Structure 1
């Protein structure tokens, strides 16, 4: 007989300050590290420990969020129920992905040595990225080895925790790719549909003007797609077909170009230049500028004024 999980009568909750995260119940007291992206409302939390003991249980029902997590097995059996369907897992230490859509009940019993990286998406966010097509990310996914999701989750984690210039655009792009994977959309169909759509030169010019006018703002895919009069689902591919680069790359290059102008002709402090060009901090600005231009902002300013 395997060890049994503690009863859930003394349910524990985390105290991260983020209501959807703290609504999840645990049989043992967990320790979490939480981050939130203010622009999108996505919440990231990493499970550092699941409490003292060998086996624990977690229960949840999320009405306002979709839960996506990547977990590493603890080497002991696991079992539970998601959306009315039971599951059981043989002992393993595999890295797998699970998706629990909003409105679904879930109960999972597993070893406390397991570790997970978890995301809660506002309930409409993932499917908003699929506007313009019929498919939706609504079906649960249980402990999948999907390589696309296993690649995208660490990318999203990195952007939320340490993302720099163009963070919002990158998070939007990764979230859209996650939505496409969860909705099981054939990438080939996706590409063929986008290939049939063209972006007229006059509309592309309006889009460029909009970007230049908002370089200091946190630009997102939804705003850019709206100016281009395209669905967010098709916008990125159509933009790349028209320009040869992704929206994220284009915006970064325009921000660097604006920064070069301000450094060469103006008297703004470097920190103010960073803020005016949409960088999260002077540190992020200096790193990005040096990588793309080859010299630091300070050295560039001095060289242009000699």
Structure 2
């Protein structure tokens, strides 16, 4: 899997690091690629305090068993079985844990939610936030978390299955978030320009895209466009384009029988070797393996 998935959790202030610092070892852990990781935890204790402070990544927590009176020490009510909590990358919280807990954590980078918002909601990345909140049991989000909890953890196919389901879960979570109405946007691309640039990239993924081309579409200098693109999309142009090429390749692998060379060409990769290397770096498996594992 991508090395940055591991480094995301290696920081001492990460949620994973905060739990590990208490002596807790995960029952299961899986790197999913695309800046995501999945961990199943279990603990039985008479009383333990756990603190998180600006972990640097988002966390979606699904409590299969919530213990006895487990709660946040900020006045919140006790957790319920099958409750879901979303914890943003910059949040701080202290928890009192009692009884037997069994919970699933999906860790993911903030830019994943920002990129989805730009593509799925046509929203400036800066207007997207992950709410620090609890989600009551019931509904589509719980159904998806429940499916994540029972996925197989072993076998060559497991990471890909979990990756696909995790992406679906993040789309559902995104739709449950509010817009960050208190954010005053300074700089960045105007909505019409943002859409024009986004659509141009989508229509030309098969070709060689340059900063100059995109700046021309936006009618800006390369210098100003680079800063404004990063502000509105949450990523620099080269990283956005690389991610969209991987997304396009996955779509074609799922929905067509096109040869790998044709997919590489349609997604803008100079060679089949470059395509295979980029795909493996993003998802942890070769394109041929990805296609073979599809149901």
> In 1, Cα distance between the equivalents of 2:146 and 2:179?
20
Match of 2:132 among 109, 116, 140: 140
> In 2, Cα distance between the equivalents of 1:96 and 1:149?
10
Show the counterpart of 1:40. Answer: 34
Show the counterpart of 2:255. Answer: 253
Show the counterpart of 1:69. Answer: 61
> In 1, Cα distance between the equivalents of 2:153 and 2:172?
16
- The alpha-carbon distance between structure 1 residues 120 and 154, as it changes in their structure 2 partners (threshold 3 A), is same
After TM superposition, the structure 1 = structure 2 runs for residues 18-97 of structure 1, keeping only pairs within 5 Å, are 18-19=10-11, 20-25=14-19, 29-32=23-26, 33-37=28-32, 39-48=33-42, 50=43, 53-81=45-73, 85-89=74-78, 92=80, 94-97=81-84
> In 2, Cα distance between the equivalents of 1:184 and 1:155?
27
Show the counterpart of 2:172. Answer: 177
- The alpha-carbon distance between structure 1 residues 164 and 98, as it changes in their structure 2 partners (threshold 3 A), is closer
Mind listing any 5+ residue stretches in structure 1 that lack a counterpart?
A: 1-15, 186-196, 211-220, 228-235, 237-245, 262-271, 292-306
> In 2, Cα distance between the equivalents of 1:248 and 1:159?
22
- Report deviation, 1:222: 5.0
Residues 232-290 of structure 1, C-alpha deviations (whole Å, 9 max, x = no match): xxxx9xxxxxxxxx985543233x331699xxxxxxxxxx9xx69x68267655454xx
**RCO (CA 8 Å, sep 6+): is it higher in 1 or 2?**
2
1:123 maps to 2:110: yes
Mind listing any 5+ residue stretches in structure 2 that lack a counterpart?
A: 1-7, 181-194, 208-238, 263-272
TM-score, normalization by structure 2: 0.54
Larger radius of gyration: 1
TM-score, normalization by structure 1: 0.52
- The alpha-carbon distance between structure 1 residues 251 and 169, as it changes in their structure 2 partners (threshold 3 A), is farther
- The alpha-carbon distance between structure 1 residues 59 and 140, as it changes in their structure 2 partners (threshold 3 A), is same
- The alpha-carbon distance between structure 1 residues 172 and 222, as it changes in their structure 2 partners (threshold 3 A), is farther
> In 1, Cα distance between the equivalents of 2:147 and 2:179?
20
